[in-house]
Copies of this chain bind each other. A is one copy, B any other.
Amino acid sequence: MAYNLWYWPTIQGRGEFVRLAMEAAGIDYVDCARQGGSEALIEDMERRQGRTPFAPPYLAIDSMVIAQVANILLFLTDRHDLAPSGIADRYWLHQIQLTISDVVAEVHNVHHPVAVMDYYDGQKAEAARAATQFRNERLPKFLGWFEECIDASPGEWAIDHRWTPVDTSLFQLVEGLRYMFPKRMAAIEGDYPALIATRDRVAAIPGVRDYLKSERRIPFNTDGIFRHYPELDAA
């Protein structure tokens, strides 16, 4: 039975980390709001009672509703055997995934530093300040840590000899950062060869390769998490 994935239909956003893992693993899903639109997503959220998600994305399966990207990926990993199951590997993988969530939140904060519910245009000065420190200090710190994680792997993937949702998430992180900060990424990418090699390996996973060529892959745009505002980028 296919999963019902609910997420905003016009952006990659946080939903993309879920889509990519399912596409890579060949897991059947229906991207519900791509058919019914944002209205259908809002209706679905309002219709639910009891254990409801705080925000999309969420997976609906049987009577369960599973939200929070890292939680969804943990569920899919457990249920579809997408990673080594040893205790040490299990929590190490989730630790990396949660750190990806952290950098994604900081990325969103760059263009919405003082008013997450309002438009970027109303906080451009603050965003410029946030972007400077993100590009110069936070970004190298995060990328350097992911590079060390991959270096510590005994295999060619982030955790061992098979890809996991952490690899597909690192792919998306690199793609998003390249879109948002093309000058900065061009200047520093060379410092993270293992991370970039992981990105390239993920792009060659057959399910991912097919997905990226399909209409299911929504192009990056300035409504998502990663937004290209030229004024926020610099080498």
A residues at B contact (CB < 8 Å): 49-54, 63-64, 66-68, 70-71, 74-75, 87-88, 91-92, 94-95, 98-99, 101-102, 105-106, 109, 113-118, 123, 126, 129-130, 133, 137-138, 142, 145, 148-149, 152
Contact = CB atoms under 8 A, between A and B. Distances in A.
Contact of A126 (B54, B91, B94, B113): B113
Contacts of A88: 63-64
Nearest to A148: B52
Given A114-B114, A114-B130, A114-B133, 16 more contacts: A51-B92, A51-B152, A52-B148, A54-B95, A54-B99, A64-B88, A68-B95, A68-B98, A70-B70, A70-B98, A74-B91, A109-B113, A113-B113, A113-B114, A115-B130, A117-B133
A108 to B, nearest CB: 10
B115 A129 contact: yes
A99 B68 contact: yes
A145 B66 contact: no
19 contacts: A50-B152, A51-B92, A54-B95, A54-B99, A54-B142, A64-B87, A64-B92, A66-B92, A68-B94, A70-B98, A71-B98, A75-B91, A102-B105, A113-B113, A113-B114, A115-B130, A115-B133, A116-B138, A118-B133
